[in-house]
Amino acid sequence: MKRILVFSDSHGSIDLCVDAIARIPADIILHCGDYVRDVDKLIRKFPDKDIRYVQGNNDLFTKAPKQLIIEEDGVRILAVHGHEQHVKYEMNYTTLAKFAREQGCDMAVFGHTHIAYEGETDGVKLLNPGSTLFGGTYAIIEIADGNASSCIMQSM
């Protein structure tokens, strides 16, 4: 089984990320943007962790990619921030699902709205971990036997 910890929209506050990374064993740490240099701090704090990230709408002038695909055990996961797929204004997520399908992905992970969400649109699993700063949420994806399951976690 592979486990991915997913964060988004930390906007300068990494305490929840640090706590979760220290407590929850994970193979990959994924940040879906609007980290404002937060990922650099996480990489320094956890140099042995596989930390991946994408650019958010507030992450101008960074070299972070706008999207990435994680492929594990036959499952393809698209990671984006979501602003370019209009997730904040199109709450049915059809544009995001279509984009994920075009990339050959089974799942799309995104941020931007600051609202945690799990669902499915047009056969694509969708996961938004919410915001570690504004909602105190993050997510866990577990991949086993060619299937991905996810859950939203709330900080205490």
- CATH for 125: 3.60.21.10
Q: What is the pLDDT of residue 23?
A: 97
Residues 94-126 have pLDDT tens digits of 999 999 999 999 999 999 999 999 999 999 999
Q: What is the pLDDT of residue 48?
A: 98
Mean predicted confidence (pLDDT) in 13-18: 96
Tell me how far apart the alpha carbons of residues 121 and 97 are, in angstroms, rounded to a whole number.
6
Q: How many domains does the chain have?
A: 1
Phi, psi of 30 (to 5 degrees): -125, 130
Tell me how far apart the alpha carbons of residues 114 and 117 are, in angstroms, rounded to a whole number.
9
Among 114, 7, 87, 103, smallest CA distance to 54 is for: 7
Angle (CA) 126-52-44 rounded to 5° is 140
Residues 54-64 have pLDDT tens digits of 999 988 888 89
How much is the pTM? Answer: 0.95
Q: What is the pLDDT of residue 102?
A: 97
Show the tokens assigned to 78. Answer: 């698209």
Its domain, for residue 106, covers: 2-154
